[in-house]
């Protein structure tokens, strides 16, 4: 066990199970401790995974277990900053789930804590770790697409409001944009080489809310049971993001919308384009002819694969000091985009990002 890194999980709700799946299958990891404010869930998860070091207070856990090497923060969004900063100040490396926080100011405080303590703060931008993204990024880096100047990203659920804390703005920070939109915004920005956003124009809508009248069952629910009684978050968000290289991203995301469900990413460049739905397809020119190219191999966006590869990357960064590909700086920039869209929706005007 001495050569294994000791991992603590802060927040043992739904998303922690994806982290645990990756950690428990990694031979370089010992899952060492759990912390959660819900004692019943904490006890249940401890029994499920055979963890006996159980805490309802993160400060106490960090004080009593100095041997912890790294922490996964899987709490409500509103607690990301506090829990992350505590772990960083205790000298631990941290993998924080997306979104980084619920404000740009908190995101900056998190990055400052990582820099001040000389620790790794990796953000859970899990879409970067899928086979689809790895292949598309490889093509982009090798100039297959040329200058990428326009992109479209859709993450549309028809009846997909999870309820529970996801629909309570005081804990989530927002609805479909901060929960789903963050995935595809980061994906496109990463493929483009992480250009800096300079402005956003967006609109959010609260029209269908949690669709509590719908009799059809839904498959999205948090660990707290998915109560639909509270819902003060947006159910649709649309936006344009302009980057410093002149490129523009068009975003559509929803919890509830009278439409078919779809999850699609499209990019358009001077040499070629690509579309990702169930698999990756390329569109280009060869010998003066327009051509469509299918990729041989698995390019499906599989979340199980993504999380396993994300966790393996975090472990490699902690244990072997491998450079991290989803940094705190990326997290701050994504928060600037998200909060800019919310501000633009509120004011009805374009928001300049500085």
Domain ranges (residues) in the chain: 5-124, 128-302+334-352
Residue 144, pLDDT score: 97
Q: Are the beta carbons of 237 and 203 closer than 8 angstroms?
A: yes
pLDDT confidence tier of residue 1, bands split at 50, 70 and 90: very low
Phi, psi angles (nearest 5°) of residue 137:
-65, -40
Residue 103, pLDDT score: 98
Q: What is the mean pLDDT of residues 73-81?
A: 98
**Alpha helices, DSSP H, located in 74-152:** 80-89, 104-117, 131-141
- Whether residue 215 has pLDDT greater than 60: yes
Q: Are the beta carbons of 239 and 336 closer than 8 angstroms?
A: no
- Whether residue 265 has pLDDT greater than 80: yes
Q: What is the pLDDT of residues 2-21, one digit of tens each?
A: 689 999 999 999 999 999 99
Q: What is the mean pLDDT of residues 306-325?
A: 98
Residue 212, pLDDT score: 80
Q: What is the mean pLDDT of residues 193-209?
A: 97
- Whether residue 226 has pLDDT greater than 70: no
Residue with tokens 């963890």: 51
| Residues facing 150 on adjacent strands | 248, 268
Residue 2, pLDDT score: 67
- Whether residue 349 has pLDDT greater than 70: yes
User: Three-state SS for 67?
Assistant: coil
CATH architecture of the domain covering 5-124: 3-Layer(aba) Sandwich (3.40)
Q: What is the pTM of this model?
A: 0.96
Q: What is the CATH number of domain 128-302+334-352?
A: 3.30.360.10
Which whole-number Å values give the CA distances from 66 to 37, 86, 89, in the listed order?
20, 13, 12
Q: What is the pLDDT of residues 288-313, one digit of tens each?
A: 999 999 999 999 999 999 999 999 99
Q: How many CA atoms lie within 13 A of 154 on its CB side?
A: 14
- Whether residue 65 has pLDDT greater than 80: yes
Q: What is the mean pLDDT of residues 129-154?
A: 97
Tokens standing for residue 287: 């010998």
pLDDT confidence tier of residue 228, bands split at 50, 70 and 90: low
The chain-wide mean pLDDT, for the chain, equals: 95
Q: How far, in whole angstroms, is CA 204 from its chain's centroid? A: 20
Q: Are the beta carbons of 235 and 212 closer than 8 angstroms?
A: no
Q: What is the pLDDT of residues 157-198, one digit of tens each?
A: 999 999 899 999 999 999 999 999 999 999 999 999 999 999
Q: What is the mean pLDDT of residues 258-282?
A: 96
User: Three-state SS for 178?
Assistant: helix
Phi, psi angles (nearest 5°) of residue 239:
-165, 160
Q: What is the pLDDT of residues 112-122, one digit of tens each?
A: 999 999 999 99
Tokens standing for residue 343: 């501000």
């Amino acid at each position: 066990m001495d050569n294994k890194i000791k991992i603590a999980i802060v927040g043992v709700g739904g998303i922690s199970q994806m982290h645990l799946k990756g950690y428990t299958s990694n031979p370089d990891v010992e899952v060492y401790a759990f912390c959660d404010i819900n004692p019943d869930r904490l006890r249940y998860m401890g029994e499920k995974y055979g963890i006996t070091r159980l805490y309802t207070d993160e400060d106490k856990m960090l004080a009593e277990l100095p041997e912890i090497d790294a922490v996964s923060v899987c709490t409500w969004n509103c607690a990301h900053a506090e829990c992350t900063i505590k772990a960083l100040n205790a000298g631990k490396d941290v993998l924080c789930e997306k979104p980084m926080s619920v404000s740009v100011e908190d995101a900056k405080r998190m990055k400052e804590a990582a820099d001040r303590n000389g620790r790794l703060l990796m953000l859970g931008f899990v879409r970067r770790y899928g086979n689809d993204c790895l292949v598309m990024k490889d093509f982009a880096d090798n100039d297959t697409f040329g200058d990428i100047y326009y992109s479209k990203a859709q993450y549309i659920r028809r009846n997909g409001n999870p309820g529970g804390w996801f629909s309570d703005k005081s804990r989530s920070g927002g609805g479909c944009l901060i929960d789903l939109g963050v995935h595809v915004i980061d994906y496109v920005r990463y493929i483009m080489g992480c250009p800096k956003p300079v402005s956003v124009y967006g609109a959010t809508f609260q029209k269908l809310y949690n669709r509590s009248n719908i009799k059809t069952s839904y498959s999205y629910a948090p660990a707290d049971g998915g109560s639909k009684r509270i819902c003060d978050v947006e159910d649709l968000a649309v936006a344009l993001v302009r980057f410093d290289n002149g490129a523009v991203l068009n975003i559509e995301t929803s919890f509830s919308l009278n439409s078919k469900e779809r999850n699609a990413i499209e990019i358009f460049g001077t040499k070629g384009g690509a579309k990702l739905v169930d698999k990756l397809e390329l569109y280009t020119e060869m010998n003066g002819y327009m051509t469509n190219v299918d990729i041989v191999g698995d390019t499906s966006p599989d979340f199980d694969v993504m999380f396993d590869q994300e966790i393996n990357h975090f472990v490699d960064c902690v244990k072997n000091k491998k450079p991290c590909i989803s940094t705190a700086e990326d997290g701050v920039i994504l928060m600037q985009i998200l909060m800019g869209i919310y501000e633009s929706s509120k004011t009805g005007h374009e928001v300049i990002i500085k």
